């Protein structure tokens, strides 16, 4: 998941290390009545990756990176690379309508907030919230087979 968000092996390794430290330091905050341990860890990993993407240090590195290296890395680690799809989630996402797939991708893999999605897609915030809720409910139904 982290690799799909940051699209760089180097940054992924760094973030994974941070995630393990966060999990180690916050293990006492895990509450099994609220969800599975795996889900708790995935949320920490996802949030850490998104925070890293939005950090000023990362943004400055992107600005200072030579263009050929950036193009090479983005092609090598493109999110269309299905080998990083360990649990077949891309197949599950294909069960959603295209517009809902886009919302899930923007929110969960690119770290956009609902307000940012609304601005990017030029649709009302209420529509984004409704479509996101519907997409998540549909995903929940589709994932019942994977439990």
Q: pLDDT tier at 63 (50, 70, 90 boundaries)?
A: low
Q: pLDDT tier at 41 (50, 70, 90 boundaries)?
A: very high
**What string of DSSP letters covers 88-147?**
-HHHHHTTS-HHHHHHHIIIIIS---HHHHHHHHT--HHHHHHHHHHHHHHHHHHHGGG-
Q: Is the pLDDT of residue 87 over 70?
A: no
| Mean pLDDT within 40-49 | 90
Q: Kindly state whether residues 37 and 105 are assigned to the same domain.
A: no
What pTM does this model have?
A: 0.51
Q: State residue 4's pLDDT score.
A: 81
CATH number at 77 reads 1.10.1740
**How many domains would you assign to the chain?**
2
B/e letters for 7-30, b = 16+ CB within 10 Å, e = fewer, are bbeebbeebeebbeeebeeeeeee
Cβ-count burial of 116 within 10 angstroms (0-12 exposed, 13-18 middle, 19+ buried)? middle
Q: Kindly state whether residues 89 and 105 are assigned to the same domain.
A: yes
Q: Kindly state whether residues 71 and 112 are assigned to the same domain.
A: no
Q: Kindly state whether residues 64 and 22 are assigned to the same domain.
A: yes
92: containing domain: 85-147
**Whether the Cβ atoms of residue 78 and residue 107 lie closer than 8 Å to each other:** no
Q: Kindly state whether residues 95 and 147 are assigned to the same domain.
A: yes
């Amino acid at each position: 998941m982290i690799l799909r968000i940051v699209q760089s092996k180097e940054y992924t390794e760094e973030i994974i290390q941070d995630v393990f430290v966060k999990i180690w330091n916050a293990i006492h905050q895990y509450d099994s009545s609220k969800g599975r341990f795996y889900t708790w860890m995935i949320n920490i990993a996802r949030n850490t990756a998104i925070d890293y993407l939005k950090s000023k240090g990362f943004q400055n590195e992107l600005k200072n990176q030579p263009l050929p290296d950036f193009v090479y890395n983005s092609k090598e680690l493109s999110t269309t690379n299905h080998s990083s799809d360990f649990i077949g989630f891309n197949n599950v996402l294909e069960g959603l309508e295209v517009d809902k797939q886009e919302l899930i991708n923007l929110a969960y893999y690119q770290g956009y907030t609902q307000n940012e999605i609304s601005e990017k897609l030029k649709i009302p915030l209420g529509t984004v919230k409704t479509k996101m809720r519907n997409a998540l409910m549909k995903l929940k139904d589709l994932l019942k087979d994977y439990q």
